[in-house]
Chain A
């Protein structure tokens, strides 16, 4: 019995880490974190990395456990969240890409103002993007009737989310070393490229939402299978 529970627990951890970690993608978002915190000193940055990790943990746990109820409360569907969230991500990527100087070096950045950005835009939508939230909501939607199973699922999800938050912290905490190694002008190139990638991720998420919405229409018959356009 205990053996089976342990197996269940490991499975729950693996599902959460396997489904959410590639979407949160801490390694990929580390350059964006650098771009948004340009001009901040090491101390502020490490505080921010910690805050973002804690925020991400809370946000992901909230989405896993309460996500469904919140969506139901406001009468929302997951595709709609993806569409709206994708648009927010697009706008963020657009601003990073088209700013004349994506990150004006601030002489003495006020720590308070830097830290007020820890939730928006650093945690949502940069780290925990709408894709990650919808994945978490979907995982949380599988309810079990057995009380032991529910407990195991919650413990497994908590451990999984802790792993994700820890990798976010590690990636963001040590992003600065990479920046120092790259130098200013090469860093700017990396920032522009990652801004473009953020824009594309936003388009991808918005498109996924749109596609799911359009497929709900009765007239949108699925494309005939087997026909390939060359």
Chain B
């Protein structure tokens, strides 16, 4: 009985987060942001982004509700603010003449600079965006009654998040092979296209937040954090 719940929980977390984190879709964006970095740097960045994503997702699942309560925020507001940030990153990528003006060309030798870049913008909001954060918070918001089911739920969400991070690592680590396969012209096209898709994702997240706040498609249903 517990084993079934456990496996169900792992798949639920994985299935809920994978389409939103979308490592396959984010890989070209990762390439664009690290275009002038060399291979070892990119490997370091892929590892750091994976670790950052893991910590961020776990924190959202386990303490997200309390953090929101502490600052008096609701999930739709996080979606509004976060969607705006995603839009701005995507807009810069789409419109800039040189796609990776903000890449880590300079200072790649400095591990501090790499890890700074690895958190913003590579982890938040590119890999783990506001959409993923709000899904993770919602997953964590279902409090089980008994200690036993709490442990089951915690371990299964831990495993689900580990699986997600493994997918992120694989996609980012081998993004370069993809770009070699596509060639420079092909990569440029893919990057512009994914920048546009990212912009649309940002608008979608903002719209979801706004919809929940004002109830355009129905009465407002602000989920209590």
**Chain A residues close to B by CB (< 8 Å):** 22-23, 25, 28, 90, 93, 97-98, 100-101, 131, 184-185, 188-189, 192-193, 196-197, 199-204, 207, 223-224, 227-230
Contacts and interface: CB of A to CB of B under 8 A. Distances in A.
Contacts of B71: 25, 28, 197, 200-201
A201 B74 CA distance: 10
A201 B85 CA distance: 14
B116 A185 contact: yes
Given A28-B71, A100-B102, A203 B77 contact: yes
A69 to B, nearest CB: 28
A72 B55 CA distance: 49
A212 B111 CA distance: 48
- Chief secondary structure at chain B's binding surface: helix
B18 interface: no
A200 B221 contact: no
B115 A192 contact: no
Contacts of A90: 81
Interface in B204-225: 213, 215, 217-221
A60 to B, nearest CB: 18
Given A228-B219, A229-B218, A192 B119 contact: yes
B174 interface: no
B49 to A, nearest CB: 12
A192 B52 CA distance: 13
A117 B84 CA distance: 28
Interface in B40-92: 52, 70-74, 77-78, 80-82, 84-85, 88
